[in-house]
């Protein structure tokens, strides 16, 4: 079986390498991607004129190929949904006991099911069943870094028109900041910042913003995803409407990606129980 | 000429990382090697001038997906239960 596996892998690899020789050379002026009759020439020359967006990549991603990005966002959202449906466990198994730590004395309390739970405060802290004392250096460093990550993420989203970046990257950075809180403290600290319900709602809202903007263009009497139509609604020039349409869409993408990243992390790290995690 | 050398060296380390990720016994090590693989790919994209792709690779490939892999590895055991 192992030999068969190796044979398959080697054959597929050989086939791929063999096909590489058919590729045009790097920087070949006559290759389809670089030829004069092709789309890339048009994009490079007309992107700024059409959308007033200096970063051609963003113009292509969110405007010329808006459909592609819309379904990409939908794919990410369905990935989050798939993780939720496969992993999430709502039924509690076995005897349920919680552990609390009395901070001043360092005593750990186990409270079995039906027992009176102490109020969550600075005195009584709920802890995981496998508890390791928090490392203050790790915890405080992560807490200090998080606001900077979030501000940078917002910059990446808002500045995607001019520099590399955009909705996807900014959204992942925002999600990573919340995951960092969950990793450096515990899963409950992350869930306090963004609940599961919040993540699900924000994920759907992001996809809705994208698809809604596209549908709005359709309702205003233009093609699906043709942001020119927004000019009538916002009383601005069509070119500026395109520019703003791209921004709205990027914000939708960022919302969806952030929420889905956090949601997948919650389900993966706690095996769907959302109780104790990494 | 110099740029080609960067390409060749990075590609060589990428291949070493990929083979290492397959062969290493420890799953945690394999996921970290995949993270290193993603980061080197990010460098390659940046050298080729595709900065947007490099940015995505750095955030998604090297950042979040490594965390997901580690989170999944933490729920495995040394030996199978069945």
Label each residue of chain B as H, E or C.
CHHHHHHHHHHHHHHHHHHHHHHCCCHHHHHHHHHHHHHHHHHHHHHHCCHHHHHHHHHHHHHHHHHHHHHHHCCCCCCCCC
Q: Is the pLDDT of residue B81 over 70?
A: no
Residue A70 backbone zone (phi > 0: left; psi -120 to 50: alpha; other: beta): alpha
Residue A126 inside a domain? The answer is no
Q: Tell me what the pLDDT averaged over chain A comes to.
A: 85
Q: Is A150 on the interface with B (CB under 8 A)?
A: no
Interface A:B, Cβ pairs < 8 A: 48
What was the pLDDT predicted at A234?
A: 82
Nearest Cα to Cα of residue B27 among B64, B65, B75: B75
The angle at the Cα of A161, spanning A256 to A258, to the nearest 5 degrees, equals 15
CB-closest option in B56, B59, B68 to A264: B68
Q: What is the pLDDT of residues B15-67, one digit of tens each?
A: 999 999 989 988 899 999 999 999 999 999 998 888 889 999 999 988 899 99
Residue A119 inside a domain? The answer is no
Nearest Cα to Cα of residue A214 among A257, A171, A248: A248
Q: What is the ipTM of this complex?
A: 0.86
| The total number of structural domains that make up chain A | 1
| Distance, CA of A26 to CA of A36 (rounded, Å) | 16
Q: What letter would DSSP give residue A61?
A: I
Residue A259 inside a domain? The answer is yes
Residue A116 inside a domain? The answer is no
CB-closest option in A61, A164, A176 to B64: A176
Q: Is the pLDDT of residue A11 over 90?
A: yes
What is the distance in angstroms between the Cα of B73 and the nearest Cα belonging to chain A?
A: 9
Residue A103 inside a domain? The answer is no
Q: What is the pLDDT of residues A218-265, one digit of tens each?
A: 888 888 888 888 888 888 888 888 888 889 999 999 999 999 999 999
Domain that holds residue A196: 52-89+134-269
Residue A98 inside a domain? The answer is no
What is the distance in angstroms between the Cα of A37 and the nearest Cα belonging to chain B?
A: 23
Nearest Cα to Cα of residue A50 among A178, A201, A227: A227
Q: Is the pLDDT of residue A95 over 70?
A: no
Residue A108 inside a domain? The answer is no
């Amino acid at each position: 079986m192992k030999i068969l596996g190796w044979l398959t892998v080697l054959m597929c690899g050989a086939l791929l390498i063999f096909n590489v020789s058919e590729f045009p050379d790097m920087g070949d002026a006559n290759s389809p991607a670089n030829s004069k009759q092709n789309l890339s020439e048009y994009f490079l020359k007309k992107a700024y004129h059409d959308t007033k967006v200096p970063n051609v990549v963003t113009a292509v991603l969110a405007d010329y190929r808006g459909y592609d990005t819309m379904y990409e966002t939908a794919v990410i959202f369905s990935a989050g949904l798939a993780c939720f449906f496969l992993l999430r466990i709502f039924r509690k198994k076995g005897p349920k006991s919680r552990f609390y730590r009395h901070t001043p004395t360092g005593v750990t309390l186990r409270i079995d099911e039906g027992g009176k739970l102490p109020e969550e405060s600075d005195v009584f802290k709920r802890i995981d069943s496998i508890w390791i004392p928090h490392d203050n250096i790790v915890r405080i460093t992560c807490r200090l870094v998080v606001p900077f990550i979030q501000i940078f993420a917002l910059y990446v989203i808002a500045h995607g028109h001019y520099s590399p970046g955009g909705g996807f990257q900014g959204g992942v950075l925002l999600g990573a900041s919340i995951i960092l809180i969950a990793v450096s403290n515990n899963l409950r600290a992350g869930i306090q910042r963004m609940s599961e319900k919040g993540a699900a709602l924000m994920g759907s809202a992001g996809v809705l913003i994208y698809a809604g903007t596209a549908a709005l263009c359709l309702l205003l009497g233009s093609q699906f995803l043709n942001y020119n139509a927004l000019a009538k609604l916002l009383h601005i020039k069509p070119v500026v409407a395109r520019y703003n349409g791209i921004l709205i869409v990027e914000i939708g993408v960022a919302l969806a990606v952030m929420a889905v990243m956090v949601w997948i992390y919650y389900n993966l790290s706690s095996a769907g129980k959302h109780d104790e995690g990494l | 000429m110099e740029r080609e050398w960067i390409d060749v060296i990075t590609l060589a380390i990428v291949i070493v990382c990929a083979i290492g990720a397959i062969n290493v016994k420890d799953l945690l090590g394999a996921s970290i090697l995949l993270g290193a693989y993603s980061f080197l790919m990010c460098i390659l994209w940046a050298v080729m001038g595709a900065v947007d792709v490099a940015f995505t690779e750095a955030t998604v490939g090297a950042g979040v997906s490594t965390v997901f892999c580690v989170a999944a590895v933490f729920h495995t055991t040394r030996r199978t239960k069945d």
